[in-house]
Amino acid sequence: MTVNEPAHEPIAAVLCDLDDTLFPQADWLAGAWNAVATTAATDYGVAHAPFLAALHEAAAAGSARGGIIDRALAAVHAQAPVKELVATFQAYRAPRLTTYPGVVKALATLRERMPIAVITDGDPGVQEGKLASLGLLDAVDCVVISDRFGREFRKPNPKPFQHALATLGVPAHLAVCIGDRPDKDVAGAHALGIRAVRVRTGEYAHVPDVIEPWFTAPDFAEAARAVLRIAGG
């Protein structure tokens, strides 16, 4: 793991992504898709097992594409009100989720030295529910959900990053952003002069870099340890 600059500004805050950075989003999606398939079966007579398999297959083709429920229904030649199934997806709350190994300790250790903000895209209720299921609502100083400003402000839009920095009272050049998405976390941070650390976890682990990150780490816990070493911790 090589840091791509010989000299370092102090580090005064850490911004981090949520999905596939702090926990495997696939765990949440498994429960959410099962809830959707159950509603489709119970209320609209769609065969549960084939539809659930189609949902997973459509999601595996790329969650950023959207239209997963529509494509899954078409795949099993079934009809059901997509709006109602989307509402089921958004209403799903996981009873419990587990972070990647070492994340809880890493957050606590980082927070002893500096404030932490989570910046995440998605439905606010869904994203807050994930944090609650992970037990992380009180583990950070600030949670910024870009969709509160509007879907057009999702990362890499600068607004959620700027809001987090303003809330923490830290300038961009003294912050570090840790995330898994090269096109969202790394690109969005880099555009504002925030040092970006890419972690190789989750759906986008093998996607090529869009912009070279400050450094790359195998996971959040290792990224946090490196940040603390650089910060002199």
Per-residue pLDDT of the chain (233 residues; tens, 9 = 90+): 555 553 468 999 999 999 999 999 999 999 999 999 999 999 999 999 999 999 999 998 866 567 999 999 999 999 999 999 999 999 999 999 999 999 999 999 999 999 999 999 999 999 999 999 999 999 999 999 999 999 999 999 999 999 999 999 999 999 999 999 999 999 999 999 999 999 999 999 999 999 999 999 999 999 999 999 999 85
What pLDDT is stored for residue 208 in this prediction?
96
The domain locations on the chain are: 13-23+97-230, 26-91
Please, what sign has the CA dihedral across residues 55, 58, 63, 68? Answer: negative
What pLDDT is stored for residue 185 in this prediction?
98
Specify the CATH superfamily of domain 13-23+97-230. Answer: HAD superfamily/HAD-like (3.40.50.1000)
Q: What is the 3-state secondary structure (H, E, C) of the chain?
A: CCCCCCCCCCCCEEEECCECCCECHHHHHHHHHHHHHHHHHHHHCCCHHHHHHHHHHHHHCCHHHCCHHHHHHHHCCCCCCHHHHHHHHHHCCCCCCCCCCCHHHHHHHHHCCCCEEEEECCCHHHHHHHHHHHCCCCCCCEEEEHHHCCHHHCCCCHHHHHHHHHHHCCCHHHEEEEECCHHHHHHHHHHCCCEEEEECCCCCCCCCCCCCCCEEECCHHHHHHHHHHHCCC
pTM as predicted: 0.92
What pLDDT is stored for residue 65 in this prediction?
60
